[in-house]
Structure formats: C-alpha cells, structure tokens
Structure 1
Amino acid sequence: MKKICLLILFVSVLLSCSDSERSNKNPYLPNYSVNLSIDMNLPAYSNLKFVSNGVIVPNNGAKGIIIFNAGSGYNAFDAACPNQDVNSCVAMTIDGINAVCSCDKTSYSLFTGLGGKDYPLKQYKVQVSGTVIHVYN
C-alpha cells in the first residue's frame, strides 16, 4: 500500500512539473532567427543603463526588437503586434513602461509582456556581459 501511495505521489509531482519559460507559439508571428548584440556605451542605447527605459532596434525579428531595462534584468520582445497579422501593422511604439500596438492600440507591459489580448509579446532570451546586451532565440 505504501508503494502505491508513493508511486501516485511521484507521478503527480512529475506531471505537475512544467517548463518555466513562456511559450512563444503565436499563429500571427513567424519564428525568425534572432542573434543581436548591442553596446550600451553607444549613444543610441545608453538610456538602457537606467531602469524603466527601452529602445527599439530595427531590422531584427519580425518588426524590430524592443529591449527594456526592467531593473532586475533586461527583457527583449519582438516589436510586432502579437495579436495581429505581421503585415497588417507597423512596429509597436514604446510609451513609458508599455509597448503599444499601432493597429488596435493595445498596450503591453514591458516588464511581463502581457496585454489584454490572447497572445503576449513574443519574448527573446537575453544575456548581459558588461555593457553588451546579447538577444537571441
């Protein structure tokens, strides 16, 4: 009886485990390969040294990459509206700590990537080494 209880407990713990990363499966946005490095010592990216500041790096991902200093680290999101066809809207804009879609004016948090629609912002991985930020998938 003890063995059966332990087996049930083990199986339930095993099934409750999940990947900690957010799913990037989105039917509106294709999976572009991203491998981008920027240096925060360059004037265009120097405001990333300060918390709650972000920049859009064009010509990467679907519509550019938004890099944001969240205080505890850096977040990188695709600048394409996650709930619209990739060709229907121009790149999102940064409004304080939010990214705003040009088509439907939906606002997405640059801390979490969440907005009021079905899909969150498409997030990329970030590594920081000194003043260089590396964004990749």
Structure 2
Amino acid sequence: MKPILTLIFLMFITSCEKNSTNRNPYLQEINFRFDANLNLPLYSPLTNTGSTVLITTDGIGTKGIFIINSGFNQYRAFEASCPNHAANNCSTMTLNGQIATCSCEGYEYSLFTGQQLNRPDDGNRYYDMLEYRATFSGSTVVVTN
C-alpha cells in the first residue's frame, strides 16, 4: 500500500504546473489585427531580411508596432511603446536599423529578439519588448494580439 501512495504522491507533485506569468504592468493587452501587404510601397522594405517598419495606425498596439523580417520568410512584431514605464508622450520608441530606442531613458532593444540591450545593473526589474503574433502568407504579414 505504501508504494502505491508514494507513486500517487509523486504523480500529484509532478503534474502540478506553476502557471505564473511575467505580465508587464506598463503595457495593456490590446486586441487587434493588422495586415501588411508586402506589394504596397509602404511595406515593401519587409521583403528584405533585417528590414523593419514602424506602424503607428490608431488601434494597432498601444503606441504602434514594429515589424521586422527576421529571415527565411519569418517575421516578428513588437509593441512600439517602451516596456519599462507607463505610456506617455516620450514612450513611443524610435527606429534605428534593427534597434528600437526609448526616447525617455535611452533604453535600446533588439528587434530580432525583443531583448533590452543596455539593461541597467541596479537590481530593478526590467522588461523586454512585448511581442505580438506575426504570420506570413502569400505576400501578407498578419499581426494579431
């Protein structure tokens, strides 16, 4: 009887899952869908690997989105609002190649990974960029959240 109880206890322990998330308190979850037709001149740079565009259309993300061609018909999309403070008048990041920069503090983020490149070593919690789902079909990149 004891081996059976031990087995049941082990199964119970290993089947439990810690379902916590590292939710960014500064960014809202906004539902949207955006289609970028790569045949249009505005989005045609996305046909080249490493090219990025900034979309600032109202209702698309909090402050807009960055879309990058990461190679081999793979695309990534990230929120254009700096993830390390509340949205305000300086929180829309600027684009410099494959780097997004927050004009408030000068934080830099890689658009290939979304990771903060110049994270201060001060013991505070810092967030990477909020990534959205990007899929490629035909000549269109569809970004959704």
Percent identity between matched residues is 37
Aligned mate of 1:121, from 129, 133, 136 = 129
Q: Does 1:131 align with 2:132?
A: no
Distance change (3 Å), C-alpha of 1:7 and 1:47: farther
Q: Which residue of 2 aligns with 1:97?
A: 98
Change (3 A) 1:17 1:130: farther
Q: Residue type matched to 1:97 in 2?
A: Q
Counterpart position of 1:56: 54
Kept in 2, the 8 Å contact 1:24–1:122? The answer is no
| Higher CA-based Rg | 2
Relative to structure 1, the CA distance from residue 2 to residue 62 in structure 2 (aligned partners, 3 Å threshold; closer, same or farther) is: same
Shift of 1:30: 1.5
**Does the 8 Å contact 1:24/1:123 carry over to 2?**
no
1:103 & 1:128 partners in 2: Cα distance? Answer: 33
Q: Shift in Å at residue 25 of structure 1? A: 2.1
Q: How far, CA to CA, are the matches of 2:90 and 2:65 in structure 1?
A: 15
Say if 2:26 is the partner of 1:28.
yes
Gaps in structure 1 of 5+ consecutive residues: none
Gaps of 5+ in 2: 120-124
| 1:39 equivalent in structure 2 | 37
- The code of the aligned residue for 2:42 comes to A
What's the TM-score once normalised by structure 1's chain length? Answer: 0.83
Instruction: Give distance in 2, aligned partners of 1:52 and 1:18.
Output: 34
- Deviation of 1:14 after TM superposition, in Å, equals 3.4
Match of 2:110 in 1: 109
- SS of the counterpart of 1:113? coil
91-100 or 45-54, which deviates more = 91-100
TM-score relative to the length of structure 2: 0.78
What SS does structure 2 have at the residue aligned with 1:48? helix
Q: SS in structure 2 opposite 1:70?
A: strand
Cα 1:36–1:85 shift into 2, 3 Å = same
Letter in 2 for 1:78: E
